[in-house]
Amino acid sequence: MVNKVITNQIKTMVLLMMVFTAIILLFSGLVYFSIVNFSHQRFYELLKIRTATIIQIEKSKDDLDLPENYILNSFNDEELPMEKDYVVAIPKDSNFKRISQEVHIPDYFFKSIAKNGEANYNDEEFYYIGQTFKHDDKDYIAIASAKNHYVVYYLGFLKRTLITCIVLSLFFSMIFSFYLSKTLFKPILKITGKVKEISSENLHLRLESQPDNKELNELVDTFNDMLNRIETSFETQNHLIGNVSHELRTPLTSIMGEADVALSINRTTGEYKETLEIILDEAEKLDKKINALLMIAQTGFDGKIQKMDKVRMDQLLWDVIETLRRIDSRNNIYLDISMLPDNPKKLKVFGNEQLLHLAVANIINNGCKYSNFQQVKVSLGATDADVYIIVKDNGIGIPEEEMNKIYDPFFRASNTKNYEGYGIGLPLARNIVKMHNGELIVSSHENQGTTVQLRFPNFYSTQNEEKLI
């Protein structure tokens, strides 16, 4: 895993360097060729001005009547660097070879001027521009030429400067790419290291959220949610393994003992009947415990297999209360609705109605049973994000030293010997609440009563979280 991350980090660094290099080279090239093009155009404009000046000077003269194919004049006043100016008469046969050889300028340049009226030319060092003009009904060509020191010297300096800047930019881009790739992969390496610390012995550990990193936080939240389910699964398995042998062996021992005694000697019909009743009673206890084990296992391993939908918690509570009253008319339940929100949508949660019904019914039924059917107060309320159910009774309570065992399957407090039960209601309810991303909090004092608070995220806050993810 680490090698793959390091490889990806190097790939990212190289990719960033290639991008930076391409951008630097592109802009450096644009700058260089833009300045070269500008210098050429600017220099030609200066030469054009000089050509116009030459034409004006020559036109001001009284007599330009010189033989054809003859260099009329040459100027060396150095208005521009190493400037040389020429005025030649255009031969009638348009043959510029002699003139070309004389001034060392290609004859096609003269022909282009004669044909188009204006042309320019350069031999990488000297730049030329020529124009035609008439004087006394004769055609002439005026040429201005000079050495472009800007291109030769200043652009050379620009080239060296750009190359130096490119080298420095590549060096700093390499440092920046390394730092950036290291910064990008640092949270991933940190998460990887933390994940390696988590094992079956310390499933309580969780990954920490990364500040200002929405994408990684999505991964962290998903992984933590998976750990919650795995931890619940492991806890369930550990509790089941620790308790199942004792809880199942007791009724099995009774069944086998009664059957063995009944078969040891001949007995009357009444004695056989009594034995069978004992065996049936123990078998029913065994069946209930096996069903309880299966239910706890189902809710502890995978909460995603259950069908989830919108559930109105107020309607669910009324249904639970009605069911419990039908089961036992002694159940005295008071529903407090004083904390109900104005908006009934806040009472909806995203969950499985049957499982929620089972969890809430177990909590309220325990309150009725362990308070000797005194009044149990059930309060329902909601905030913008959560729905709360509070069940309060005035029963026997739970001894303080035994509070840390209340979620162990089949554990029953020491003061519950006179009450029927198997110790699976609270662990089952907690598993169901966890499946719904909720929270179950129990506070109790012996002989003073117990208060159980259930919190569930409401439907709309759950959907918003999913959209954000």
> Domain of 334: which CATH number?
3.30.565.10
State the average pLDDT over residues 108-132. 86
146 occurs within a structural domain:
yes
Token pair recorded at residue 455: 């919190």
Q: Under DSSP, is residue 133 helix (H, G, I), strand (E, B) or coil?
A: strand
242 and 340 share one domain: no
Q: Taking the CB of residue 78, how many other CB atoms lie within 10 A of it?
A: 10
227 and 342 share one domain: no
Q: What is the DSSP string of 156-222?
A: HHHHHHHHHHHHHHHHHHHHHHHHHHHHHHHHHHHHHHHHHH--TT-TT--PPPPTT-HHHHHHHHH
pLDDT of residue 270: 83
Domain count along the chain: 3
192 occurs within a structural domain:
no
| Nearest CA-CA partner of 96 in 82, 112, 118 | 112
Q: Which residues pair with 272 in a beta bridge?
A: none
Question: How high does pLDDT run on average in the chain?
Answer: 79
213 and 317 share one domain: no
Look at residue 469 and tell me whether its pLDDT is greater than 50. Answer: no
397 and 284 share one domain: no
Query: Are 299 and 355 within 8 A, CB to CB?
Result: yes
Which residue among 119, 134, 152 closes a domain? 152
* Choice between 17 and 312, residue whose per-residue pLDDT is larger: 312
The three-state DSSP-derived secondary structure of 93-108 is: CCCCHHHHHHHCCCHH
Whole domain around residue 261: which residue ranges? 198-303
Q: What is the DSSP string of 29-97?
A: HHHHHHHHHHHHHHHHHHHHHHHHHHHHHHHTSS-----SS-EEEEE---SSTT-EEEEEEPPTT---H
165 occurs within a structural domain:
no
Q: What are the tens digits of pLDDT across the range 213-243? A: 677 777 788 888 777 777 766 765 665 555 5
285 and 328 share one domain: no
Which residue among 260, 276, 303 closes a domain? 303
CA atoms within 13 A on the CB side of 325: 12
118 occurs within a structural domain:
yes
159 occurs within a structural domain:
no
Instruction: Write down the pTM of the prediction.
Output: 0.47
Q: Taking the CB of residue 273, how many other CB atoms lie within 10 A of it?
A: 11
Q: What are the tens digits of pLDDT across the range 447-466? A: 999 999 999 998 876 554 44
Q: How would you classify residue 145: left for phi > 0, otherwise alpha for psi between -120 and 50, otherwise beta?
A: beta
167 occurs within a structural domain:
no
pLDDT of residue 301: 47
pLDDT of residue 353: 86
